[in-house]
Structures are given as C-alpha cells and as structure tokens.
Structure 1
Amino acid sequence: MDEYASIGSARIFLAIVPDAGTVERIHRLASALKRAHKFDGKLIAPERLHISLFFLGDVSERFIRAASEAAMQVQTEPFEVSFDRTASFRGRPGNRPFVLIGENGLRRLESFRRMLGAALTRSGLRRAANTNFTPHVTLLYDARGVDEHPVQPIFWTVTEFVLIRSMKGHEYLGRWPLRA
C-alpha cells in the first residue's frame, strides 16, 4: 500500500483490551444492567469491549507506522485498572453511551496514557495526542440516559495495549506488552 494512501473509512485507535475472563464479567454485568435500566440499545459485542486511549482517525500507513514506533517507546510494568460505577455520557441525541467508569482505580492508567501521549508527540502525532481523557468501557448505546450508579468493581491487570482498526469488527494492527 502507498505510504500516503488512506485506510478507507476504518477507525484507527490505540486501546487496552480486557482479558477473556474480564470480558465475560463485563458482558454479564452489561446484560443485567440493560435489563435493570430497561435499555433498548444493543450490547457492545464482547470481542469489541475496550478502553480507548487515543483515536488516530482515518490515517495513512505512515501514521500507523509512527503510532507503532511511539508504542514501542513506552515502557512500564503491568498495572491494575478498576471500574466501580456506571453512567450515561451525553453522546449524540438518541445515541448515549452507557459506560463503566471509575476514579481511584484508574490513576496508573491515566499515567500510562500520558506517557503514551508524549511518545506519540515525539513520533510526530501531536494532533492525536490530545489530553482529554475520561477512562471508560462502553457497554451499549441507548436513546435514554441514566445517572451514575455504583457497581461491584470490575478490575483486571493490564499486560498489553493494542492498535485497532475498527470497521465491521476489530482488527489488531499491533500489540505491545507492558514491561518494566
């Protein structure tokens, strides 16, 4: 593919994906909360559950290489994340994200994201390295929203992060293990 050719209408982003056991726990919780809140929206498929770190957009192969180079620069040991509440984000009218959120259990994630953002900036992707970040896992989209509500914490140890091309599914373009 030409280095400046576009990837089409795919969305490219860096993310953290929960392990299989955590995906199962999140999906079970999402199913129960969908019923409890009487949401009509479709649950996010288990294989698409993730924490978005940086959205790179519809980018060229050159940008994908730069993002991969940045990812290789980041060195940190595995860390735990913990989500203990759900809430609805504003979103587009009729399409509000219902998400898992947390606070104290996400400090290491926020630190990791700052390191990755600095690496993206050094690799020439400053526009992608925005500082706005509310760590969350989207469970579904619905026309209605609900207030914040506590849940039994969902936690896991983050051992890697990935570069995803999202079109009609998630294709992993790169994986980077966390190491000290």
Structure 2
Amino acid sequence: MHEQLFLPGFDAPPRPTDRLFFALIPAAEAAAAIVRQGRLLQEEFGIKSRLIGVDRAHVTLSHVGDYLELPQDVVTAAMNAAASVRAEPFDVTFERVLNFHGRPRNRPLVLVGGDGVAALTAFQRTLAKALQRAGIRSANSHYTPHVTLLYNKYNVPSRDIEPISWTVREFALVHSLLGRTRHVTLARWPLQP
C-alpha cells in the first residue's frame, strides 16, 4: 500500500484511536497454552518481538470498524445484532503455526486449525449475517480463524504444534484502544445448548 501524499495546507486525516470487533476469548487454560506456545517459538527462532499477553489472546470473529471516538450508535447496533444470534457451544482446536503475509517487518505469526475450526467458521457466518441485517458490513469476507501470537519481521516455517483446544461458551464485543495495547470487553453473549 502506498503512503497517501497530502497537499501543503491540508492536514493528514487523524489516525483512528478506537477499534470495535467481535471475538472469542479463550478459556484461561487455553490462553495460557497460547502464550506458552508463543514463548517456545520466540526461544526457538530468537524472536525478539513482543508476544501477545494472556489478557489479549482472542480469535477475531468480525471487525466492526476503526473510529476517532467510539460511536455509541454503532455499539448499540452491534449489541442488538449480537443479541439476536442463537448458537450452541462448540469446540475449537488450533494445531498449526504459520505466518500471514503482512508488511515486510510486521508479519503476523498465528495459530490456525483444520477441521477443528469448522464450527467456528459456521458461527462466524451466523454472526456476519446478523450484523448485515443490522446494517453493519462485515470486514471478514475471506475469514480465516486464527489466534495472533505476535508480529515479526522473519518468516517462521509453517508446522504442526501440540493442539490447543477449548469449548466456546460465549462471544464478546471488544473495544480496542489502538496503540495502547488494551482491550475492553463491552459485552458478552452466552451460547445456549
């Protein structure tokens, strides 16, 4: 992507400060296993990049938007859409590590799954349809369920890992304070058997 050039006398648009997204938050044991896997990879490959913390481990379901301030009308519409979603708890398993393509010095190192994320993919489609009905366009047209461990300049060889699994019993609407490495959970919705 090319950097936008601006004419003298015109300011660059301000950078967003707030992000809104739906996510699955791993169970405590799974979050600890995710961070442990990240540390093993850091040690093995000499990666100095900062690892995601246990408190920020998540699987993004749908990016709602980036904003200069969190718009309450969008938050309300997203919450109403989420409240309409009906689904049963399901299991997820992440069993492979790989790099996504990104900027050359900022490649996401992620955990992905095979058959172990099929129910997650189906749930994400259900949520995306509810968001569409509420007038919120989903940014995840080519959804690949993953957990980001860190951002790194090196490519780590793709390979299988000891599977990390948990039962998903709820999903959440998360407010990310951009550039401040902080997530605030605004609401959670339980999955009902």
User: What is the TM-score normalised by the length of structure 1?
Assistant: 0.92
- Residue of structure 1 aligned with 2:101, choices 90, 94, 99: 90
The alignment status of 1:144 with 2:154, answered yes or no, reads yes
The alignment status of 1:103 with 2:114, answered yes or no, reads yes
Letter in 1 for 2:146: H
Distance 1:23 1:45 in 2: 9
- Structure 2: runs of 5 or more not aligned: 1-15
Letter in 1 for 2:141: T
Alignment length (residue pairs): 172
Name 2:13's counterpart in structure 1: none
Q: Is the 8 A contact 1:16 1:53 kept in 2?
A: yes
C-alpha displacement of 1:128 = 2.4
Say what the alpha-carbon RMSD is for the aligned residues. 1.2
C-alpha displacement of 1:58 = 2.4
Name 1:71's counterpart in structure 2: 82
- Structure 1: runs of 5 or more not aligned: 1-7
Distance 1:155 1:165 in 2: 25
Greater Rg over alpha carbons, structure: 2
Distance 2:105 2:123 in 1: 33
Superposition map of 1:1-180 within 5 A: 9-59=17-67, 60-125=71-136, 127-128=137-138, 130-167=140-177, 168=180, 169-180=182-193
* Runs of at least 4 residues off by over 3 Å: none
